[in-house]
């Protein structure tokens, strides 16, 4: 008898109103199996999160660990197999975290919407 090990589930909680977020998730799903949950319609208490937290940054949950913001992006890129992009963001440290926070806080701006259409 052969045993099949189930792949660990990755849950991503994101801004369901953000087109850049939705396009990024669609790109991730080309290579990665995830459960994507818009925070606006999810029971965040199940994950120990609040609406305030989720309105500011993305969360990735896997194997009992919760990653947020730039760390969630690093985790998801690595899981997708984009190790170079993941390493660049990780080793950029405060610069990468600042860039993530800037994009997250301006996700409805014209610039971020254009970037989402160009790069994804």
pLDDT in tens, 39-79: 999 999 999 999 999 999 999 999 999 999 999 999 999 99
Owning domain of residue 25: 10-119
What percent of the chain lies above the pLDDT cut of 90?
77
Question: Are the CB atoms for 17 and 51 separated by under 8 Å?
Answer: no
CA dist 79 and 56 (Å) reads 23
In a domain, residue 3? The reply is no
pLDDT of residue 27: 93
pLDDT of residue 111: 87
Beta-carbon contacts of 108 under 8 Å, excluding residues fewer than 6 positions away, are 17, 18
In a domain, residue 2? The reply is no
Query: In total, how many domains does the chain have?
Result: 1
pTM across the whole model: 0.87
């Amino acid at each position: 008898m052969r045993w099949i090990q189930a792949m660990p589930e990755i849950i991503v909680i994101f801004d369901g109103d953000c087109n850049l977020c939705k396009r990024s998730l669609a790109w991730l799903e080309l290579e990665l199996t995830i459960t994507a949950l818009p925070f606006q319609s999810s029971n965040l208490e199940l994950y120990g999160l609040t609406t305030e937290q989720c309105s500011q940054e993305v969360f990735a949950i896997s194997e009992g660990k919760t990653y947020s913001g730039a760390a969630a992006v690093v985790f998801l890129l690595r899981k997708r197999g984009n190790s170079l992009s993941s390493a660049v963001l990780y080793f950029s440290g405060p610069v990468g975290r600042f860039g993530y926070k800037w994009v997250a806080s301006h996700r409805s701006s014209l610039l971020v919407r254009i970037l989402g259409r160009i790069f994804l």
